Structure formats: C-alpha cells, structure tokens
Chains A and B, each alone.
Chain A
C-alpha cells in the first residue's frame, strides 16, 4: 500500500497556530491524490463546516475532529497536579499557543468523529468543557471524555500529548500509564498511539519508544505529521503566528528546529515510517471507519408555541388573517388573494414554524413597547406585513413575494428585525427565557487580519518595539494585506511611510502573506441561533469576551447546517425616535405627538426638509452623498424616499443609475423603453431598472416567466456567470419572449438591459422598510428639531456625523446651544426654553463618573450648588471629573471671590487640589466654612467673559473634554483671517456659478475612498465650516499630491472648481489642499484633538456621488485652472 491520510491537521482556525486555510489544505491533499483528510484544530470545530463542505466539493472525504487539552491521565488521583510532582518527574507542558490558558494545564489529545454520534459527542464535549470551565482553562476531564467518547476515535497526541511528553522526558512508565488510562475512555479499537516523525535528531528515538509502549499496552499505532501549514514554504507564517499568539518574538514558543509540519505526500510519509508500515496503514483504516454525514440541506426549526389540536400552519394563518383585518381597512380582494398564495407557499416549503418564531419575538417587543422594524427582503411578504414584522405595505409599493421566498428554491428565509438598541437586551433575555438557555446561543464571527493587524502581527513577532509597531500601522488605509506593497508604493498618505525602508521589507512580505488569517472568534452583532434540541448537540459553544455563550460557528456555517438564525439587531435610530417622541410628549402633551411609524406619508413639510438636504441625523438620508442626491432629486413623495435609499448604494452607483434617473426625472432626456410593458413597470423609476423586483416583473411581462422563474433568472444573472452560461440564459429568455410574439430585436434589447442592471439593482422591500423609519425621523426633525437633535446626541455614536457636527447643525437651526452647567445639566442632552434650546449633557464629559452624575442630580434636587466648595463638599467629586467640569465651564459664574466677581476657571483649577485635600480632612459633617487662601492663579485672560478665558481657550477645552464645540464653530474664531484669504462659506456655495474657481475652508468630518467603476482612487471629503457642510471631491491626481495632508490634518484650505448644477449637485473638485491651523484673532491656537477626526481615509460609501466621477473629472478638466 502506498496511500496515506493525514489525520492530525491544523488549519488557520487553530487561531494563531496554523497557517493554511482549510481550502488550501484540501487543494494540496487533492493534488497528492489523497482520498480523505482530517481537520483537527485546537479546542474546537471553528473551521469544520467550511472544511466539510469544501472537501465534499473537492471529492475528498472530510474527517472532522479536534485537538483538545485533556487532564493528566498517567498520574494517580493523589498526584493529579503536575506542579506537585518532584521536578524530575514533571512533564513539559505545551506552550500557550492556540489553546489559551488551557495550554499549560493539560496534555494534547486528538479526537476524530466516526459518525454523527461522534460529531454530536465531540460538540457536547467541547461545549461542556468551554462553558462549564468559565474563567478557568478549558481542560477536558477524563470523566467527560469517558461519557462523550461514543463515536469518537482518539489519537494519543503530539509530543505535547502525555505519552509523547513522557517519552521525551524519559519517563516511559508514565507514558504507559497514560496510554492505558486514555484507552479505557474509548471503545476497544478506538484509541491509537500517535507517531510523529518530525525530522529532528530525536524523532527516531521518539517514534521507536512510542511503538514499544504501544506494543506493551496492546494498542495500535498511527502515523501523523502534526500539519500546521500546507506547504513547507509557509513555515515562516506559522512561526510568526505562534510567536504573536504567545506574545513573544521569534523564534516563538515552540522554537521549532525545522519546517517539516507541512502536508507531506503519501510517499514521503511512508518513507519516514518505513519501519512501522502498519502506522501508515492505520490512517487508511481510520479514514475508512470515519463516515460522518452531517446531512446538510435540511432545515431544523425551533419548536413553536402550538396549542393542542392546532398545527404551526393553522396558528400562523389565523394570526395572518387577523392581521390582515387590522392592516387593510377595507380588506381588498388583492390582499386576500396575495395572503392566501403566500400562506400556501410557506406551508409547501415547511416554514410556518420559522414565521411563528419571528412573530413570537416581535410580539414580545410590541407588548413591551420596544420599538422594532423588520428589514430586508422580508418586506416583500404580505405575511410579515400583516403579522406586524415589517411596516411597508407590499401591495402599495409593488413588492414581490418571490424575491423573498422563491417557491422553486427551498432556501431558509431570513427575516432581520431591528430593535431599539437600548432595549435590545430585554428582547434577548426574552429569547433565552422563551426557548431555554440550552437552546439559544449567539452566532460567532471570525475576525481576520487586515493590512494593519497583519503588519502589527508580523512586526511584533519580529521583535520590533511597541513604538515601532505603532509607527508601522499608523496611517495605513483599511485594505486587505495582500494589497500592502501596492498601497505603500502608490497611496499618497503612505509617502515616507517607515515600512518603505528596505530594512523593514520582511514585515511587509510577511504581512502580505498573512492576508485574511483568522485572529480570534468574535461575537456577531445580533445573530442568535435557536434550536429545538439542546444546542450543544449541534455545535461546540464557548464563552465570548462579552460574557455571552457563543457558537463556534459563524452565520454561514449555521445556514449550512439548516438551523434558524435570527438577527436581533440594535438600531440606535429606534432609540432616538423613541427618545424624541418621549421628550416631545413631555413638552407638548401625550396626545399631541402621534406615533411616527403610523403617520400617513403625505406631509409636504417633511419632503421639503429632505429636499433641502437638511437631513443631518435622518436615518439613511444623512450621508453627504444622500444630501447631494436630495438636492438633485427633490423628494416629493414616499416613493422618492425609497428611490433615494436605493440609488445611493454600491450596485446602483456602479451601474451609474443616478444620472439617467435624475435627467429623466427633470425631463432633460426622454424615457425610452424597448417594450411597452417595461414602460408601465418602470414608470416610478423613469425607465431605469433600479429595483430587483423590477427585474422579476420585466421577465414576467416580456418573456412570460413565472415570478419564481424570474427570481431564479435574476439570481443566475447576479452571480458571476461565465460568458457561456450567460449566453444560455439569453437564448432561453429571447426564445420565451419570441414565443409570446415579441420581436427578436426587442427581446434582445430587453435582455441586454436586464443583464446590465440585474446584478446592480437594489431590493426595493429593504429600501421600503428603511423608508418608513426615514420618514419617521424626517417628520420628527421637521416638527421637533430640538428634541430630535437631543435624542440623536444622547444615542451617539450613531449615524454618519460626529456629535460636534450634530450640535453645529442644531445651532444652524436657530436653536440655542446652552453650555453644560452643574445646576442645569443632567447626564443627557435636554431641551429647554420650550424647544428653543438644547442643554449640553455631562454624560460624555472626560473623566466623568456615573456615581458623580447620580449624586449631582440627587443633591441638586435639594438645592442648587452655590459654588465650587459647595459642589465639592456635597458631591465629593473626583478631582479629574471636577477638573473637566471646571474646564468646560460647568461652574462658571458660581461664587464670588475677593475681587467681587465669580472666580475664573484658572482660579478654580488652581484651588481645586487644595480644596479637595481640605474637604477630605474635614469630612462631610457640618457646613463649616472653609478658609482657604486665595489661589495663586493668573488673572482673567479675557475680562469680557465670566470664565476669564478667551474663546479659543474655551473652545479647546470643550473639544478636549466633550468633543463638542459649544462656544462657537472652531472656524468662526478665525473668520477674519479666512475672509482675508478669500474663502467662500458653505451657505454661499449654491449661489456661486457652476465651474467657478473658489477656495473654501473647513474642518474634516469624513474622508472616504469608495470603490469606483474606473478603479481609480477618489477621495470624498466632507468638511464643515460655521455655515454648513462642504463636499469636496479629490480625484486621483490631486489625491496623489495631497493625500498625506488629508490624512495627517484636521482642518484644510481647499481650492478648486465648483460643480453646481442640477445633474451633479454641489461639490468642489479640489486641485489644491493645504492644512489650516485654527487660531483666533489673538493668534491663540484652537486645538482640535477630540471632536474632529483625522487618520486614514475610510473605505465606505459617501461623498458627492461616486457614479459621476469620470464625468465630473472630464467636466473639471475643461475649466481653465
């Protein structure tokens, strides 16, 4: 026999201790013609499902297993702890890589699942070990191993296994005892002594000693190679990962002496074990015995609450018909037909339990007044609408059920629901109570390396100092690390980057190879798995850093297993809307403010607000790109909001849908469609295929497809098909259309358009669900702007803009911004003067404590604070918090000094340490007057203000302590200087001519470089000056010159050509950018450190409209500089 199967294989899911992806390992095994391959990652099955699926696709038999840490088996109970033994009897324990703290607490053991029983036992064993041990190292006990060993094959482990370690330590007796004890945990014939010939000078001795032990114990032997990388060349990555994982520098914790842990071909393995061929034969025999079938492709729903005598379907349909009466008044025949049809499909596909599960959770939220809304393609269904899961009427908005659930494809439906993020925990607690703690777990995510983390990992392993590591990762953009060399060579912000020095080339080389290597398991934002059987029979579980039990599988794995995953997402907009409604009702009365989700969508004032791009804080409509679009689109009705949300998405942007949409809307170009049916279907989008639902309708109308067939067609067109596959789809479409009497040329043209847009269209149901929330936000901003702004600020971080900008926006709406004050501010932002002012809250103040906030509120309700002494005595405020309060002016104007005026901030700051000391000595008893010598502080710098500080000083302190500009916008202090420099203010831009050459100044709000169709890099820079927002487009040539200026500064002077027309909106095409240092008229510096961003350019979407880049660039070129 010459074949061999690797049974001890680590992928990169042995976090920081494996350098190959499961795919790479399988590809190598396939290249060697191996019929099977095992995956045995450390302490878990993190990569097992994707390995299993890829292996089946590659025609290789997958063997699922894990390498666990098990307690010592070769010791008597009395001497059970290694550390209690005399030093010469102790064994070397494994280094702390991949296993966390379990590494040094036990010995390695390799487990392989023979069948489903074995798989379930392995999951149970891992789940029990991880979950039960809690904060202790996750070490498998022999008792658990005995209980859960059915269906499992055990291998005695690597040199860090007890037998191996004993042999290396020359303690054969202990190895023998361990082997005998471990073998008793497994069924006879299911435990093997694992031999590894790792090509070290010790290896032959190690192997022969273990063979001898095996024979003595009557156990079979099996050969493995402890594979940690697919190819020899990748040993460097393994060393780097292991070093970084153990927080040491190279050579790392293993101090491996060679590079032999790769997936060796069968011949090489056989040569190594020429003396013990039975060890290689055993690999084949084990592979033969492992016949795990996970039965992927079937669905497993949690148990729904079904009364006796009912079925899940009957309960669902009763609830749906009841809901129909509530939602449709009067009930229309169309709604009845549609509901009947959808219920039938849901029943045919076997999904009623899934809908009932979602309804159960949503019903709970509604009962408890927790704001929630469904999103995504679920909005296409009338069932979800009548059950109250989604809020957009699918009939009114032409939403198609088949886009959500295709009767032709039995795919797990996915209903995502957003909940008020502040009360999401209540929903989660309900899910645990309702379905049982043993049946619910959170979905994991695998955090992988990007360029920055890869550089940091490589540099740490290579022994660079923390300062050097920081200097390497600073200013690196958010890109994949395989792009690192290109990015360093071409990106302007990387000019003079330390990684460009030849002596650091190895860091770049290694980081590039580390691309997408998993680092650790994270927790999905809101994904929950709910199962009918105990969840530990489905997947291993463990504690996440957040203190919740999390699955070892990510969402794709869960989906592959056919389990129900519910996304319980927290949406801060819901919290903000709830807060706004609460504050507004407190001010104007309970009945005066309607429920914003139930409003008719017909208020012209709301649309006027949106069309004026006054959208800061509005869900989905606030980004700079959306504001630019609003100025061109001029929203008039709810369909326009849906269109706006859909158009400013990567797909529609890439397909350049916005320009024809806008031009046709304004009558600048005619609407021409190849087929009359398309005119009707595409009426709302002026002949442009914006929505995925429209693709279905067109295919139905022109080629006679059923909607289910049409959805399959759309999916086929969306995925990257080969030219031949697309041609086959085209022929099929055209033939069907011609069969219906459509002219061939027309059919061809319709297909060409579908082909061009199908992949880029946006799901209208998703946009419609969002639009309901957007409209509610817009309505609240229109009618209750102060409450809305306060609610937004109280729920930060949220949305597109910084709190500083939101506060500036408040000021621009003629609402006063009241400074924080110990006698007036609470933790949160509040509304005063009947909606005319917003009072800054103290919750986000630097160094503020929740204890102090509580005490302040309690004491203030007794009587206001008289001065600093009174405040300190009554609240015992911590010194750093008191210092911040003084610096932001929360004590301005309190008390009187000998000079007959309130103390200045400098005086209070000077007095503070002494006061604190005296108060500490005195205790709190009595109202003794403190006699303290006047502090030696400088006099008022600015006698015009009670604080004694100049505006620049006040502003710097506000930005530093609160991240907000309360006194004024930073640039308003430099107004005279900027006007001298000929700067145009943001609110004057609409009045300037298209293609005028102008200069603007602003502080940075956002800088983004989204993907563009041309592949070129363009930066969309959103800046703000005292009068509003300025959108700046920096094309590649300007970006190459000024990229580092953008990245390394926070305020800029930008010169360029103004673009101001209804097609493209208002934006400045920059050709010169210089940093601007903000100083007030007294030349005093304003420090923008907190509150104004700096750093790398963001990758996400934004800016003035990515789709017009090429055109705008041409336009800009035509203007003489």
Chain B
C-alpha cells in the first residue's frame, strides 16, 4: 500500500476538497502541484526534521534568482552554473527565528518551487539580502 494508501482510500464522491486533480489535461504541472499541496500526502522532505527553514536534503548555498513581480515569486534561478526555470510555486512560507540573538537570527521567505529538475526550496535571506538554495527535495 505504501504512501499512496491515502490517495487510494480517498473517496472523491464525498464532499472533500475540490481539486482539479484528475481533470487537468493541459500540463503535468498543475497536477503535480496539487498533489504536492495535498494535505494527505506526507512528503519525503518532511521526514527530515524541519528546522530553520530547511527541508529535504540539507544543502545551503547562494544562488541568483530572477524575480517575477507580477506573480510575487521567483521566475527562475541559477544554481551551480545551471539555470532552472520555475514551472510552479508549490508553497511559500516565512521564517523568523531568534531575532534577539544576532548569532542565531534567521529571517527568511521560503519558496518551494517546481522545476524540470525537481523540487527546490529557495529562501530569500532578509538579513543578508541574498537568495539561497536551502533544500532539494527530490
């Protein structure tokens, strides 16, 4: 059964969350995004204890991000010389920790984005005014 148990057990006939999960035909992205957003799916990345805005594999290095003001989200980013176009923003969250301690302080706005290469967690560090890649989920 594995982790798909929840999906299989889900009865679309009852009034649950209305999702366009099985009706989307134009691209894969909306389906994947909805799947990733779905509350009943436990993501692998969350099996790693999520502290300090990190998720999934713990990698953290500076990247360049092209911002899309109309969407209010990254359009693409360049990591290790390779450019990734953002297909969809799966989720975004904010982190504000230990503001009273300059050594531990963390102030970030994080975006989990879907690209062709996989799912990435990007974070804008408000203190250092720079973009970081903080996690690669798959």
Contact = CB atoms under 8 A, between A and B. Distances in A.
B90 to A, nearest CB: 9
A208 B37 contact: yes
Contacts of A201: 46, 50, 55, 91, 93
B94 A216 contact: no
Interface in B1-51: 14-17, 37-39, 46, 50
Nearest to B46: A201
B55 A257 contact: no
B100 A199 contact: no
A861 interface: no
Nearest to B15: A215
Which of A215, A251, A256, A258 has the most chain B CB atoms inside 10 A of its CB? A258
Interface in B71-98: 72, 91-98
A235 interface: yes
B100 A462 contact: yes
A260 B39 contact: no
A268 to B, nearest CB: 9
A208 B93 contact: no
Contacts of B39: 204-205, 208-209, 212
Contacts of B37: 204, 208
Nearest to A271: B72
A211 B95 CA distance: 25
B17 A258 contact: no
A326 interface: no
A259 B16 contact: no
Contacts of B55: 201
A506 B101 CA distance: 10
Contacts of B92: 199
A203 B16 contact: no
A215 B50 CA distance: 31
B96 A257 contact: yes
B99 A211 contact: no
Nearest to B50: A201
A200 interface: yes
Contact of A257 (B72, B91, B97, B100): B97
A1092 interface: no
A209 B17 CA distance: 8
A462 B99 CA distance: 11
A197 to B, nearest CB: 10
A874 interface: no
Given A201-B55, A215-B16, A271-B72, A251 B98 contact: yes
Contacts of A837: none
Contacts of A200: 93-94
Contact of A506 (B17, B50, B100): B100
A208 B55 CA distance: 21
Given A201-B55, A205-B39, A462-B100, A212 B95 contact: no
Number of chain B interface residues as a range: 20 to 34
Contacts of A256: 96
A203 B100 contact: no
Contacts of B94: 199-200, 257-260
A273 to B, nearest CB: 13
Contacts of B15: 212, 215-216
A873 interface: no
Interface string B94-138: 111111100000010000000000000000000000000000000
B96 A258 contact: yes
A236 interface: yes
A239 B97 CA distance: 11
Nearest to A202: B93
A250 interface: yes
A199 B98 CA distance: 17
A366 B124 CA distance: 74
A264 to B, nearest CB: 12
Contact of A258 (B14, B38, B72, B95): B95
Contacts of A209: 39
A603 B16 CA distance: 92
Nearest to A216: B15
A177 to B, nearest CB: 17
Interface in A182-221: 199-201, 203-205, 208-209, 211-212, 215-216
Contacts of A260: 94
Contacts of B107: 259
Interface in A577-622: none
Contacts of B46: 201
A363 B14 CA distance: 74
A256 B38 CA distance: 24
B15 to A, nearest CB: 5
Contacts of B99: 235-236, 239
A168 to B, nearest CB: 11
A211 B15 CA distance: 10
Interface string A99-134: 000000000000000000000000000000000000
Contacts of B72: 271
A212 B96 CA distance: 30
Nearest to B100: A250
Nearest to A218: B15
A1086 to B, nearest CB: 46
A735 to B, nearest CB: 60
B115 to A, nearest CB: 19
Contacts of A257: 94-97
A259 B38 CA distance: 25
A215 B97 CA distance: 35
Given A205-B39, A208-B39, A235 B93 contact: no
A169 to B, nearest CB: 14
Contacts of B96: 235, 256-259
Contacts of B38: 208
A205 B96 CA distance: 20
Nearest to B121: A201
Given A211-B17, A506-B100, A204 B95 contact: no
B98 A203 contact: no
Interface string A254-292: 001111100000000001000000000000000000000
Most buried by B among A201, A236, A239: A201
A469 to B, nearest CB: 15
A235 B55 CA distance: 25
A2 B34 CA distance: 24
A208 B97 CA distance: 26
Nearest to A267: B72
A212 B72 CA distance: 27
A251 B105 CA distance: 12
Contact of A212 (B17, B50, B100): B17
A256 B94 CA distance: 11
Nearest to A207: B39
Contacts of B97: 251, 257
Nearest to A243: B100
A159 to B, nearest CB: 15
A204 B17 contact: no
Nearest to A462: B100
Interface string A234-259: 01100100000000001100001111
Contacts of B93: 199-201, 203, 258
Contacts of A211: 17
Nearest to A259: B96
Given A250-B100, A462-B100, A506-B100, A212 B16 contact: yes
Contacts of B17: 208, 211-212, 215
- A-B complex: 7 closest residue pairs judged by Cβ atoms: A258-B94, A205-B39, A259-B96, A199-B94, A258-B96, A215-B15, A212-B17
Given A212-B16, A216-B14, 10 more contacts: A199-B93, A203-B93, A204-B91, A205-B39, A208-B38, A209-B39, A211-B17, A259-B94, A259-B96, A462-B100
Interface of A: 199-201, 203-205, 208-209, 211-212, 215-216, 235-236, 239, 250-251, 256-260, 271, 462, 506
15 contacts: A199-B94, A201-B50, A201-B55, A204-B91, A209-B39, A211-B17, A212-B16, A212-B17, A215-B15, A216-B15, A235-B96, A235-B99, A258-B94, A259-B107, A506-B100
